[in-house]
Amino acid sequence: MLNRRKVLLTAGSVAVLGGRAFAQQSTPPGTDPLSAWNEGKAKAAIVEFVDRVTRAGSSQFIPVSERIATFDNDGTLWPENPMPFELAFAVDVSRAQTSSSTSAAGRKTPDRSAKQPRNRKQVIEDLVLATHTGSTIDQFNSSVRNWIESAVHPTFKVPYTALAYQPMLQVLNYLRAYEFKTFIVSGGGATFMRVFAERVYGIPPEQVIGTLFKTKFSMVDDKPVLTILPQIVHVDDRAGKPVAIQQIIGRRPIAAFGNSDGDLEMLQLTTISHRPSLGMIIHHTDGDREWAYDRHPASSGRLSAALDEAPRRGWIIVDMKRDWNTVFKSVT
């Protein structure tokens, strides 16, 4: 069954791409750079958009310098279940801290005793601050590196980085082949993601935008030290995304990929009164191969307002079950 599908796909891809000079030049015959995508509206939208803005002579040609594409991370480039992977890191580190600490209170948890009861959001924020701050950048990087190299996803029993979505890795490569500059714009911690983003996604640290903690520079023993302080200075979610895009990238993307209401404002910034542009939402519809969720308030990445707004904005909904023939980079 898999083989038959692959053959059909390859044939279809050649038909779609056959007339385009780039595809003929840069991909070996019969090789589809978007082979993990089934033929359909979503795949066609990507191919058509890239052709329209990059083909010499196109009326909607965009110069290379303006080919900026932004990608959410959790739920867009890799899963966010059974919990966001960075939260899994925080839980693991917190457990290790508690078991190695002589104090039952844990060594870095802020004192919230005066604020009872603590809600879910507060608990998560405390956990994140306790595991992401108070160390130097170098120490934190080591901690993330150790975890990412050893931790195993509870459902798939593979390293977390093996769960990058193969279709999205192909989109990243496809856009870069057409001289797009690809950025991550995620609610995750920028420093956390930078540890693996280059290796897993081909995205260098300076193109990773995320949530930021207050950071202090000081000279210690005549050496420069950057210390992460327990205060969040930028939450890179919702309206925080277009703000960070302005502050850090300094111009509007022409393509944006997200999967939740946290990406709504980034999609608005990218596509409204800004043509040509492409807005795309990964809809988690595959409960067999991944997870199926959208509007439920308890969903990790809740998708409701953005789903409602998609039709009138022309945003493409990617139906993971229907549009992807392969989900993960390393899991079949």
The nearer residue to a copy of itself, 105 or 272, going by C-beta atoms, is 272
The nearer residue to a copy of itself, 74 or 237, going by C-beta atoms, is 237
In the complex, least distance from residue 76 CB atom to a copy of itself, rounded to whole angstroms: 20
The nearer residue to a copy of itself, 222 or 288, going by C-beta atoms, is 222
In the complex, least distance from residue 217 CB atom to a copy of itself, rounded to whole angstroms: 4
**Tokens linked to 171:** 């989109």
Tokens 């701050």 belong to residue: 133
In the complex, least distance from residue 206 CB atom to a copy of itself, rounded to whole angstroms: 5
In the complex, least distance from residue 245 CB atom to a copy of itself, rounded to whole angstroms: 9
Whole-Å CA distances, 186 to 27, 86, 109: 31, 12, 25
In the complex, least distance from residue 205 CB atom to a copy of itself, rounded to whole angstroms: 3
The 3-state DSSP class for residue 101 equals coil
**Tokens linked to 175:** 């856009």
Residues in the site for a copy of itself, rule: CB under 8 A?
65, 68, 137, 181, 190-191, 194, 198, 204-208, 212, 215-219, 222-224, 226, 233, 239, 242-243, 246-251, 265, 268-269, 272-273
The 3-state DSSP class for residue 65 equals helix
The nearer residue to a copy of itself, 82 or 202, going by C-beta atoms, is 202
Question: Cβ(285)–Cβ(307) under 8 Å?
Answer: no
- The verdict on whether omega for the bond into residue 311 sits within 30 degrees of 0, i.e. cis, is no
Rg from Cα positions in the chain: 21
In the complex, least distance from residue 130 CB atom to a copy of itself, rounded to whole angstroms: 21
Whole-Å CA distances, 256 to 24, 218, 279, 287: 27, 37, 5, 25
The 3-state DSSP class for residue 186 equals strand
The nearer residue to a copy of itself, 48 or 206, going by C-beta atoms, is 206
Helix crossing, 305-313 with 264-271: angle to 10°?
10
The nearer residue to a copy of itself, 281 or 327, going by C-beta atoms, is 281
